[in-house]
Structure 1
C-alpha cells in the first residue's frame, strides 16, 4: 500500500484557530527531541544554524518526532541549494531558511525546495527517506505540496524588503529573529527596544498584507505575550538548551544558595 506523508507546517497554520507555539531543539539529541515531542508543544525547530546538528542527527530526530502529534521544522544553516536538497532528502517537510533579506533570496530558497522545471532540487528521492524509498506514490510529481517553506527576516534590509519577500510565491511565512535584527539596527542585545519591536510589527503587517503567516522568536515570556497580542501566527518560546540551563540553575540555587547560578540573560538571546 502506498504511504502518505504528514501534513505540513503550512497546513497546520492554515487549520489552526490560535497561534502555534514552538521551541528549538539545539542539542542534536534524538532522546531530548523525543522528550520535547511528547510535551504537547505545537512545533519543534531542529536547528542546524546554531546547533551541532548534522544530516544524521536531523534524520534521527525527524524519525523519533514522527511518533508524536507535533510538527517538525528544520532550520538549515544557510540558503544553499545543496544543503537544502540533502535536508529534504532526510525527510524534512518543513524548512526555515535564515538570513533572507530580499525577494531574490526568497525565490532562490523556493527554487531549492522544488524539483525542475519549477526549481533546482536534485532528483534522488528513490534513494532517500523523503519518499520513503519510493513508497510514496507520485512523490516527485507532488513533492511541492509536501514541503512548506518559512524564511527568516533578521536584518534592517530584510525588514525594508519584507513585503516583497512575503509576496514571493512558494514562501509560506516569515519568522523574525529579533536578536540578529537588533544587532543589525545597532542595538545588540536589546531585543525589547521600541525600535526593534516596531520593526517586528512592520514585518507582521507586511506578511499579513501578502496573505502569509508571520512568526517571531521570543524566549522572554513578556515579549512572547506582547507579540501574540500583536498578531503573531506562530512563535518559538524556548529551546531545549535554555530550559535545561535555567532549570539546572534554579535547582542549584534552591539547594546551594552560594552557587551563584542566576541565569544571566540567556533566556532572551533568541536568534
Structure 2
C-alpha cells in the first residue's frame, strides 16, 4: 500500500491498521512488520530517541515493503514537519496540539514545503504565489497525510476550531495524555470513553478519521467501537513481548507436563507506555 491508497481508503470511510515504532531504529524491522498485516507505521520521534538519519532509513525500509511511513514529530514546531517530509515521510502526526495557530502553521508546511519564510506566509494567505507553483506543490503533496493530536482537555474544548483548519486528514488521541489531562491517568473510565466517542462523532461529521493509540486488544477494540477507524494498535516492543509471553507460557506448560516441577520464569509486563 502507498500513501495515496491509504488516504483514499480513509476518505472513503474505510478502516486502516497500523502500529507505533517506538524503540527499534534498524530498517530491517521493516521485513518483520511486512508480515504482520498492517497498512502503516507511525515512527515515533516525540518520545523515542531517533536522529534524522535513522528516521530516513526507517522510512525507506517501510516504503520498500509497502508499508506507509508516518512520522510523529516531537512537537508543534513547524520546522519539524519539514524535517519529517525531507526524510521521505508519507505523513506527519503533530502531537499535543492546543493552539489553532500552531496547527495552521504545521499544516501549511505539510501543504507548501519547501516554501518557507515570507513566501510561505503569502501562500497561506492565498497571495503572491504563481499558479505554476501552486499546481506543482499541490501535486507534490496530494497524497500526504496530516494528523493532528487531540491529547488534552484544552484541545478537546477547541476541537471545532482545530478541525476548521483546512488540510487536516485525521485526528490522533493519545490515551495516556488525554486521561491524565482529564484527571484520571490511564483510567479509561466512562468519562474518558465519552470524550473519545464525542471526538469521533464530531470528526466523522467532517469526514475525518480518528486514531486512538491503545495497547491491549480489549481497549483497542473499544476504541473501534466508539468510532476510531484509523486503527493504531500498540508498538513493536509490546507486540514482541506479548508474542514471547504467549509462546513461552505454552512451552513452559508443555515442559511442566512432561518433566514436572516449576514452570520457570514467569512472564511480566516490562514495557513503559508513552
- Is the TM value for this pair above 0.5? yes
Of 174, 182, 195, the match for 1:185: 182
SS at match of 1:7: helix
Of 109, 112, 127, the match for 2:109: 112
Q: Deviations over 1:18-39 (max 9, x none)?
A: x211101112221123311332
Q: Deviations over 1:126-166 (max 9, x none)?
A: xxxxxxxxxxxx86463231322001111001111112212
| 2:126 aligned partner | none
| Cα deviation, residue 251, structure 1 | 5.0
| Cα deviation, residue 6, structure 1 | 5.0
Cα RMSD for the two superposed structures: 2.7
Write the distance in 2 (CA, Å) between the matches of 1:249 and 1:20.
Answer: 27
| Cα deviation, residue 103, structure 1 | 2.4
| 1:261 aligned partner | 267
Write the distance in 1 (CA, Å) between the matches of 2:152 and 2:173.
Answer: 9
Greater CA deviation, 6-15 or 168-177?
Answer: 6-15
Determine whether 1:94 maps to 2:100. Answer: no
| Cα deviation, residue 15, structure 1 | 4.4
| 2:228 aligned partner | 232
Alignment of 1:18-97 (within 5 A): 19-26=15-22, 27-97=24-94
Determine whether 1:163 maps to 2:160. Answer: yes
Of 14, 33, 36, the match for 2:11: 14
Contact preservation (8 Å) 1:8, 1:71? no
| Cα deviation, residue 10, structure 1 | 2.6
Write the distance in 2 (CA, Å) between the matches of 1:121 and 1:88.
Answer: 20
SS at match of 2:18: strand
After TM superposition, the score normalised by the length of structure 2 is 0.80
| Cα deviation, residue 44, structure 1 | 0.9
Contact preservation (8 Å) 1:163, 1:210? no
- Alpha carbons of structure 1 residues 175 and 28: separation in structure 2 relative to 1, 3 Å: same
| 1:202 aligned partner | 198
Greater CA deviation, 239-248 or 165-174?
Answer: 239-248
| Cα deviation, residue 117, structure 1 | 10
| Cα deviation, residue 16, structure 1 | 5.9
SS at match of 2:66: coil
Q: Mark the runs of 5 or more structure 2 residues left unpaired by the alignment.
A: 121-134, 253-261
Determine whether 1:245 maps to 2:267. Answer: no
| Cα deviation, residue 52, structure 1 | 2.3
| Cα deviation, residue 226, structure 1 | 1.8
Count matched residues. Answer: 248
Write the distance in 2 (CA, Å) between the matches of 1:234 and 1:8.
Answer: 14
| 1:128 aligned partner | none
Structure index of larger Rg: 2
SS at match of 2:203: helix
Contact preservation (8 Å) 1:115, 1:122? no
